[in-house]
Amino acid sequence: MMKFLSIIICTICFSVNAATVDSSQLIIKLRSGNKMPITNLITKSKNLFENVFVVKTTDLISLEKFLKNNPAVEYVERSYHSEKRILPTPEKLPIINQFTLIDSPYSEFNDPLLRRVWTFNDALLKGVSVNASYKVNGKSVLEPIVVAVVDTGVDVTHEDLKNVMWTNSNEIPNNGIDDDHNGYIDDVYGINTIKRDSNGNATGNISPIHPHGTHVSGIIAAEQNNNIGIAGIASNVKIMAILTVPENGDETDVNVAESFIYAARNGARIINCSFGKNFNEGQHLIPDTLKYIAEKYGILVVVAAGNESNDIEKFPTYPASYTNDNLLVVASTTNRGTLSGFSNYGIASVDIGAPGSAIVSTVPNNKYESMSGTSMATPVTVGVAAEILGHYPLLTYTQLKNILMTAVTKSVEFKNIIVSGGRVDLLNGLELARRTK
């Protein structure tokens, strides 16, 4: 049974503290055709992808110096933490007004809390035309789409999420064995790159350490028409849960890269990335990872623009400020159609707008709460993208990105601050996808 509603303001704040380094490891990219240099300074080595490795060491400075002078090595970089960030706290639920949804438009859904989910409104009412789209296009998608939510973990037992979770069919739950020999023990729903075993491997414990990841997942894929809670935007999605963002928000470059690689290798078509940081000391690992999963797996990565009210061309935030062509960067909009006051923007760097203010969704323990942030605008966009891809699964990530950006509802306000000049729209997107060859 569904529990109480409350609101969270989810402007994941970035501190101004200097970046910290994981002093136990280095990232190494070898030049083509070369092997790892032999040195007792390396205590353990793990291949991330192609010729990119993470190595363990007890003497970071000495190993770094040794490798930088080695002709077999293309680059060496440290694994930086993100800044510690204050995650959201509950606040009073806003009063329903003329800008929030009422029951009557929801003939396509019986989920009782949808009257609170204003994003389902049509473009005129500043939503993304979810209900209108289902009236026209129905729910008959060709195949399930796997979406990886790289975040703070997901409550896989939630009444509105338990039936939409991705599971690793080759892994036997809770037997302490790597049944499918993929390097991870009991990765039934995904992996946890923060909590590692004695061998340094990511574990399969994706239980939420904060409501953020569960909330993001519900926006995308909460079960539709089950007479419970809300409905997600996408009708045939499986959520792969990857716990990479700590409760204090200071994820490392290595953890993020490993999360992206795991998602790609296990069938994700889209990655939801509702996090970021304001510095780029590493510079190579994440862009190289994004390039790899684009070229080998065709993955679209949808990322939050950030919540500092900044132009990210003047004040970059990462991964949003990387230039990889498989990134789609999302700003947040309000139920009045304006840019959310906290949202970052950028005429050449932020691709699209989506509702991100006061978004009601799932949180752990069968509860429902409201949060605000580009963290919420990102899964709204992912939900639209996944529904389009479900209808047209042969779309490439480039085609899907172009459809999302071309099919926006234009707004004068966004003309000079967002690349597409508009807000994502499911109805328009499906129509454009239908005509795309």
Residue with tokens 């459809």: 403
Residue of 182, 9, 5 lying closest to 96 (CA atoms): 5
- Quickly list DSSP for 389-417: HHH-TT--HHHHHHHHHHT-EE-GGGTTT
Torsion of CA 193, 195, 199, 202, to 10 degrees: -30
Q: Record the tokens describing residue 329, joined without a space.
A: 């960067």
Task: List strands edge to edge, sheet with 367-371.
Answer: 90-91, 5-8, 367-371, 359-363
Question: At residue 227, what is the residue type?
Answer: N
* Helices and strands (DSSP H and E) totals, the chain: 8, 18
The secondary structure of residue 116, as a DSSP letter, is G
Question: At residue 292, what is the residue type?
Answer: Y
Residues 6+ apart with CB under 8 A from 180: 168, 170, 171
Measured CA to CA in angstroms, residue 254 lies from 47, 242, 385 at distances of 11, 14, 27
Known catalytic residues? Answer: 151, 212, 375
